[in-house]
Chain A
């Protein structure tokens, strides 16, 4: 069964793409959700990573064929600055070392019918020493990020700690621009439709290079200047800045960023929240500058992507803002099977906030210095992410390489023991046309970014053990927050997260599909949900509240609480008009959250079409315009379970990753192994009317 998938997958991957590259109509590349539109052709956004400079060029062809045989239409690669720069201002693209011949590699991929997704940095990480940046640049003081005491900011990463660059440094941007000019000589002529490059990533996991505590950096003089400008734009005048910060500033130079958290009450919070908001602004500005520089270098006309590292809940980024600067933002996934809830939450956040969930790095294996991941960890993570709506993915790594373990294929493109699983999953997604399905969810849990910022500034474990690091290590971004109430009724920095967790748990218990929506998402994303549940306390950013009021005017119902805010995020009193539809409700205990969700389920008839017992098993339904098409059934617990699946009517389920067929009129019983996720193709029973009374059948498997 699997081998038939291989052959067909390989043929399907190569044949139509070859046609497109040779004879396809010319046109630009557009992203439609997780589909790449190339002229009149549509290609699902599924790729696999292969690092050309790490392989013997004589093996590139084998490795690319192996990648295509997995069923992937796109090859992804970084193009590392430090590999190609042989001395300042001199770059080699194959003249001195064949391994550096990026152009030949891309042409070879095109000959084999593969499209290309290229990530030229400037930061690539890729487990390269210095993260793919030239060492000379890192040791240029003008390029370095600065600590509160103006020291360089060291990243303790193997195999050498190094000072990280500043997102604000114009010297660094100039250096990066020279690299872009150089790499553009290879990339620009190969952009679609002239070549096979259909996607380009700008920078990599941009968020202060893993030194992302609120007061860790960046106190680079240019960052401080940008901070002042940011405040001026936000408040309009120096006086207004002073009023918000409860300080008297004689000139803009007097405005100094806070270097540690010292607030004891609401009045002193504004400058800390501003500093946290500025960090997000700085990352977005940096991306914007790099995008403009790429444009200038001639790499334009194809969609731009950016990836967000693990620990997004605690990172100094704001996803909706990033999405305004690039075409597609996605999350990187490297999780153990135990982190099921984190995988679910992250995917639901992408779905609810951006509409499309994409993984620029879906971990297949990991770096040796990372939390050890088994194949089962990686595969379970991939299935869970798909279950909750991941539509596009890049298998990272598809082909093995230095400083990595567990890639799907060996360094010669040969199949490893676990590659059959990946091939089978990709074939199933293809067969289901998974990229076009939807996971209906009427409930949105709203994430106000100002509360995330408060959590970041109240984190007590510095920058190396930052909120993001705790989350990436399996905790939550509020684990290290100080517990003081700061003059509010409760520690908001922790309470908002817990309220959302309680509501999520209650919704999951009733099998009600939901997503997370950032309050800063586009109004369309908020309006999509019939019901919006939002944590709200004494203060809230007016933009967040206004978005909810607007969504309520457009027909959504908003349930907020435990407080109706009366302060903005600069802690100034202002009116907060009550949304047209909705009410304030407590959910500060599990019982309150459960009761609230039960009431909402009754009032809004939120019952799911499929249900499963016992907890904590879950199912997740994906539909298209014809109705149910795919059903994921999950057992996240570490023990095997005999589960009962409740059906909306006579239904046939085909195991998309095997050859099991299950059918039932109103229920199906099935066995699930520990931490197992199964994917079924859903069909209405051919004799639906007659078999409505048929007894349920135990799974043949």
Chain B
């Protein structure tokens, strides 16, 4: 799924850190355009991971926090929930001494020469699951315990839906007339083989007009011409997109699309489904609270009709994906497990 010769280019430090800041709360931005230092963490907010290494008798050999380094006063690793509470961490991982060495030994035996990077990581995930099931790795909270680890073929089928072969996905956020960050992702011969940043994008487009609601068409044409036909494009102003990621309110994504604060073009079926689900959630919530709200229904109505017409097509997509991509984005931003 990831090409051996993947090309990643066209980012300066700002556009790259801006892009990552959307998904990493630690990389905060001070305004739409400037990356800033990490803000101080609220004292009571859980953060980071506590790692405790124990021997076969359960004695603590070492303990360290990802945010605070070595910790000397961890006496026991029996009660993980208590450790989590005491050290104010998001999760606790207890490792039996030598388990990491066991994992890499097994990995070396299982990875085949022709496995790609995703297949290699899936193999690693399966080994970690084995160690967890054997009690050599303990994690609290164990959010992913019930989830099966997909095969490489399943992941490939999901990627086929999100970004088919020989197609590109475009994501551009603006700060005033200039792109604040952008990324073009291309899939070719079954693999993601190109990630291009704003500088590459602007070389393909030439000078932009400065009105993002018009410029997005120029971008789509340029990407189609220079890279690959666009399968999905997402365009917005940076502050709008950050607000959307930060607000968990149902319906706000659908509303943003309906009011063209967020332009999705082309809009593949899975995005339609996600937006329709978002609108439906909002409608249900509001109906339950105050009865029908005309504004939202008006805005989302057209969208819902369009999606309803494609329901048979999108049902399989939801099944394959198994998640709502917009909810996943929100979760990432809020760092929900």
Contact = CB atoms under 8 A, between A and B. Distances in A.
B17 A418 contact: no
Interface string A31-53: 00000000000000000000000
Nearest to B120: A161
B319 interface: no
B100 A464 contact: yes
Output the residue of B27, B103, B117 with the most chain A CB within 10 A: B117
B97 A160 contact: no
A376 B37 CA distance: 9
B69 A402 contact: no
A476 B98 contact: no
Given A151-B105, A479-B70, A465 B100 contact: yes
B9 interface: yes
Q: Which secondary structure dominates where chain B touches chain A? A: mixed
B101 A368 contact: no
A338 B7 CA distance: 30
A117 to B, nearest CB: 24
A406 B16 contact: yes
B108 A152 contact: yes
Interface in B15-54: 15-17, 20, 24, 27, 35, 37-38, 40, 51, 53
A345 interface: no
Nearest to B27: A372
A393 B107 CA distance: 39
A160 B116 CA distance: 6
B6 interface: yes
B13 A374 contact: yes
A158 B2 contact: yes
Nearest to A158: B117
B111 interface: yes
B12 A675 contact: no
B7 A461 contact: no
A482 interface: yes
Interface in A200-215: 213, 215
Contact of A338 (B16, B38, B105, B195): B38
Nearest to A498: B70
B267 interface: no
A372 B37 contact: no
Contacts of B108: 147, 151-154, 163
A414 to B, nearest CB: 9
A314 to B, nearest CB: 13
A151 B109 contact: yes
A368 B61 CA distance: 34
Interface in B59-115: 60-62, 64, 69-70, 72, 95, 97-98, 100-101, 103-105, 107-109, 111, 113
A562 interface: no
A478 B64 CA distance: 10
Interface in A106-156: 129, 139, 147-149, 151-154, 156
Contacts of A574: none
A484 B15 CA distance: 47
A107 to B, nearest CB: 26
B157 interface: no
B38 A481 contact: no
B76 to A, nearest CB: 14
A139 B38 contact: no
Interface in A551-587: none
B95 to A, nearest CB: 8
A418 B12 contact: yes
B335 interface: no
Contacts of A535: none
B289 to A, nearest CB: 41
The 10 A-B pairs at the shortest CB distance, nearest first, are namely: A462-B100, A406-B13, A405-B11, A151-B108, A405-B16, A460-B53, A482-B61, A375-B13, A479-B70, A460-B62
Given A403-B6, A462-B100, 14 more contacts: A152-B108, A156-B121, A156-B124, A159-B2, A161-B117, A368-B11, A372-B24, A405-B12, A405-B15, A405-B16, A407-B12, A418-B12, A461-B53, A461-B100
Interface of A: 129, 139, 147-149, 151-154, 156, 158-161, 163, 213, 215-216, 260, 337-338, 365, 368, 372-376, 378, 400-407, 410-411, 416-418, 460-465, 470, 475-476, 478-484, 494, 638, 674-675
